[in-house]
């Protein structure tokens, strides 16, 4: 379906409605009639303070339009100070007082930070590294995610919490644990690893065959001989270890879900907070048992770059293919970089609206009040240790007021797109196990492709290769390195149904066991492409190609290049390598890009990592050929356009630059923040406009 200029006609509204009716239900996390559709919140730790302080906190929250607080995720010792002895008075008071101030509660299960009595009495619950060294008590995440005893105790505290608060009308949801991260190699984990392998492969002979263990005489006689290691091993073992870790975190979640769900209202969602591009496990697997996705949005670089952050939002939305929550984000600065410089004034608001534009229904800040002691004393907060607002409080107050103004219009809406970018943990892992080119970072490559697609299409879904593709006109897979036959068949069907599939370098090299396909790249898509990769090269110097689009400039790339070979008369060579420092003679005059029309569909293979200008030319051509137009044409540089559609249509314009920008609208819209009908908007530096289309 065609997405042309903004407000083109009723047919666009009908097309959007058609997309939405086929899409999974959105994350209506605030399923309480009085709760605002958009929520600003903060991580709050009432266990650290007396009741009078708690009450003053809530007054200050309410004044800033903060209607959400996450509590208790590190409070196990306060809730269960000794085994089987519970103390709820402080939490009862906090939840009851929060209700009086219109602050809804997300309860965190406290399993990321077990109490000292637990690890002292049950030392077998402590995590063990691959060299057999047990963690000590202290800090957090010192537990083993596979420990049978720890799971028993985690189930117990989750069940006790659910029995007490599972029907509390002010509790909207549950966060399991906090930022799943650490593997363990303790005896429980190793035994489960061996049982997992036996379940998957059935016989040791089958594992030996699929892992090619004849290499370096790795052949095993039984499953118990197989080491548990996260690096410097057979690639098949490494990939399966990550699968095992993913399944273990999934079952870790299920253990607590089984304690909460029978004792809680159905309207209380269950989630956990993941960490953007973190790849310690497959988040599609872990999220499969959760109600909504949530993530912790922290700026990892000294200078904020909108594109990686936008892509991480879309990545998180793609885990469940519905709206999500930002469970933590920074109130101007963090404490874990070498120099913890703050976001500029206005950028906290800019980040909040970017989250909403990409499908968030809540934005929570970490943390509310500075703790008197502890490892994160210097982290940014909204109020100081004495409880009075710090400078960023006023900006969050503005965000809260704006969320209230725009919330009704955004209720029931979600981002929609005709363009998908395929993200695959197996492929990321496989490339990272064997980079071959040190600078080949699969996330950097994905973001490199994402940036121009997002700028031109103004909407991109980041999804798994196994997700439904029928509604997308263009599907781009930058480095689909691991390509099982079933996934290949899924992509072949998409192309034959009329879609355009674009593959980037290193695609189709491995099967699901991280073994090379007997066919050369792109493996099971070789016949569809009518071409293959003759050889691949890691680059020390850049390469140059003939123009990648008709009438355009020559192309440039770095890091990686592949020599392609057309094998079908219907397969066309789009660009060839020119003699250049990086070609080393092998690539001179050889094909760099191939494409083939297949019925109404098309498949394209890009054999090198293009630079930004070359990628922009490529993506513009792909979008034009796929008949995907921008939502809002002629947008000034640096202005991000986000759309959420459903019951109505809302456009968000975000200026990521320090220069003011003027944006002309093709038709009048309602300015939800300033009021009135507008035909153009002026955005100050880091400025935001939220605009509703006429219904």
Whether the link from the prior residue into 522 is cis, omega within 30° of 0, is: yes
CATH architecture of 419-625: 3-Layer(aba) Sandwich (3.40)
d(CA 684, CA 657): 9
Q: Report the pLDDT value the prediction gives residue 647, as an integer from 0 to 100.
A: 86
d(CA 73, CA 78): 11
pLDDT in tens, 13-40: 333 333 333 333 344 445 556 678 999 9
Catalytic residue among 47, 73, 80, 328: 328
Q: Can you read off the two tokens belonging to residue 129?
A: 């590294």
Q: Report the pLDDT value the prediction gives residue 252, as an integer from 0 to 100.
A: 98
In sequence order, the 6+-apart residues with CB closer than 8 A to the CB of 209 are none
Same fold, 25-184+265-411 and 639-692: no
pLDDT over 70 for what percent of the chain?
A: 95
- CATH class of the 25-184+265-411 domain in this structure: alpha beta
Mean pLDDT calculated for residue range 333-341 = 90
pLDDT in tens, 392-411: 999 999 999 999 999 999 99
Q: Report the pLDDT value the prediction gives residue 33, as an integer from 0 to 100.
A: 60
State yes or no: pLDDT of 585 exceeds 80.
Answer: yes
Query: How far is the CA of 631 from the CAs of 23, 410, 650, 665, in angstroms?
Result: 20, 17, 11, 10
CA–centroid distance for 137 within its chain = 31
What residue ranges do the domains of the chain occupy?
A: 25-184+265-411, 419-625, 639-692
Is 73 among the catalytic positions? no
Tell me the CATH number for domain 639-692.
2.60.40.1180
Torsion of CA 90, 93, 94, 97, to 10 degrees: -160
Q: Residue 425 in contact with residue 278, Cβ under 8 Å?
A: no
Is 527 among the catalytic positions? no
State yes or no: pLDDT of 460 exceeds 50.
Answer: yes
Name the nearest CA neighbour of 251 among 160, 188, 333.
188
Q: Report the pLDDT value the prediction gives residue 35, as an integer from 0 to 100.
A: 75
pLDDT over 90 for what percent of the chain?
A: 91
pLDDT in tens, 544-579: 999 999 989 999 999 999 999 999 999 999 999 999
Mean pLDDT calculated for residue range 196-212 = 98
Q: Report the pLDDT value the prediction gives residue 144, as an integer from 0 to 100.
A: 97
Torsion of CA 268, 274, 280, 284, to 10 degrees: 60
Catalytic residue among 80, 179, 330, 526: 179
Mean pLDDT calculated for residue range 303-320 = 97
Mean pLDDT calculated for residue range 352-362 = 98
Q: Report the pLDDT value the prediction gives residue 20, as an integer from 0 to 100.
A: 33
Q: Report the pLDDT value the prediction gives residue 32, as an integer from 0 to 100.
A: 57
Mean pLDDT calculated for residue range 139-155 = 96
């Amino acid at each position: 379906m065609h997405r042309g200029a903004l407000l083109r006609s009723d047919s666009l509204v009908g097309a959007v409605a058609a997309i939405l009716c086929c899409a999974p239900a959105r994350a209506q996390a605030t399923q309480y009639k009085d709760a605002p559709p958009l929520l600003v919140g903060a991580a709050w730790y009432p266990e650290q303070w007396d009741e009078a302080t708690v009450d003053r906190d809530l007054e200050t929250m309410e004044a800033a339009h903060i209607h959400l607080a996450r509590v208790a995720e590190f409070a196990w010792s306060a809730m269960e100070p000794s085994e089987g002895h519970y103390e709820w008075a402080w939490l009862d008071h906090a939840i009851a007082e929060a209700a009086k101030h219109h602050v809804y509660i997300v309860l965190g299960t406290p399993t990321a930070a077990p109490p000292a009595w637990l690890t002292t009495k049950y030392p077998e619950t402590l995590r063990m590294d691959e060299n057999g060294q047990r963690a000590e008590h202290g800090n957090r995440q010192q537990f083993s995610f596979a420990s049978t005893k720890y799971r028993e105790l985690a189930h117990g505290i989750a069940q006790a919490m659910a029995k007490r608060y599972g029907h509390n009308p002010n509790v909207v949801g549950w966060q399991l644990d906090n930022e799943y991260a650490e593997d363990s190699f303790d005896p429980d984990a190793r035994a489960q690893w061996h049982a997992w392998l036996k379940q998957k492969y059935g016989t040791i002979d089958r594992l030996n065959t699929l892992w090619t263990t004849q290499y370096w005489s790795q052949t095993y006689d039984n499953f118990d001989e197989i080491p548990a290691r996260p690096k410097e091993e057979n690639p098949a073992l490494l990939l399966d270890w990550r699968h095992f870790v993913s399944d273990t975190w999934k079952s870790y979640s299920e253990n607590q879900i089984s304690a909460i769900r029978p004792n809680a209202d159905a309207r209380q969602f269950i989630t956990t907070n993941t960490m953007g591009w973190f790849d310690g496990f497959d988040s599609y697997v872990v999220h499969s048992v959760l109600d909504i996705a949530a993530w912790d949005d922290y700026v990892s670089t000294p200078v904020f770059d909108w594109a990686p952050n936008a892509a991480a939002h879309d990545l998180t939305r793609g885990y469940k293919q519905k709206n999500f929550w930002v469970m933590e984000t920074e109130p101007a600065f963090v404490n874990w970089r070498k120099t913890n410089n703050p976001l500029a004034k206005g950028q906290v608001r800019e980040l909040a609206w970017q989250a909403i534009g990409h499908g968030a229904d809540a934005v929570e800040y970490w943390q509310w009040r500075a703790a008197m002691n502890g490892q994160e004393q210097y982290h940014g907060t909204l109020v100081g240790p004495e409880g009075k607002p710090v400078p960023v409080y006023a900006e969050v107050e503005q965000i809260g007021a704006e969320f209230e103004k725009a919330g009704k219009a955004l209720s029931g809406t979600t981002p929609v797109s005709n363009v998908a970018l395929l993200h695959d943990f197996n492929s990321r892992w496989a490339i990272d196990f064997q980079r071959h080119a040190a600078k080949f970072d699969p996330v950097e490559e994905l973001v490199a492709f994402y940036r121009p697609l997002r700028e031109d299409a103004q909407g991109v879904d980041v999804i798994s290769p196994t997700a439904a593709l029928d509604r997308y006109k263009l599907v781009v897979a930058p480095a689909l390195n691991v390509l099982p036959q079933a996934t290949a068949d899924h992509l072949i069907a998409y192309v034959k149904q009329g879609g355009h599939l674009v593959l980037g370098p290193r695609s189709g090299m491995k099967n699901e066991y991280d073994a090379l396909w007997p066919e050369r790249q792109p493996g099971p898509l070789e016949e569809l492409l009518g071409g293959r990769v003759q050889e691949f090269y890691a680059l020390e110097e850049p390469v140059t190609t003939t123009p990648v689009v008709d009438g355009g400039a020559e192309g440039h790339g770095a890091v990686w290049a592949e020599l392609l070979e057309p094998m079908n008369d219907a397969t066309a060579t789009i660009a060839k390598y020119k003699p250049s420092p990086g070609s080393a003679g092998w690539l001179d005059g050889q094909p760099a890009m191939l494409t083939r029309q297949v019925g109404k569909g098309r498949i394209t293979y890009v054999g090198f990592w293009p630079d930004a200008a070359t990628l922009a030319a490529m993506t513009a051509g792909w979008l034009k050929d796929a008949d995907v137009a921008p939502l809002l044409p002629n947008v000034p540089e640096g202005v991000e356009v986000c759309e959420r559609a459903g019951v109505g249509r809302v456009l968000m314009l975000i200026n990521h630059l320090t220069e003011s920008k003027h944006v002309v609208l093709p038709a009048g819209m309602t300015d939800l923040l300033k009021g009135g009908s507008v035909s153009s908007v002026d955005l100050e530096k880091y400025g935001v406009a939220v605009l509703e289309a006429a219904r």
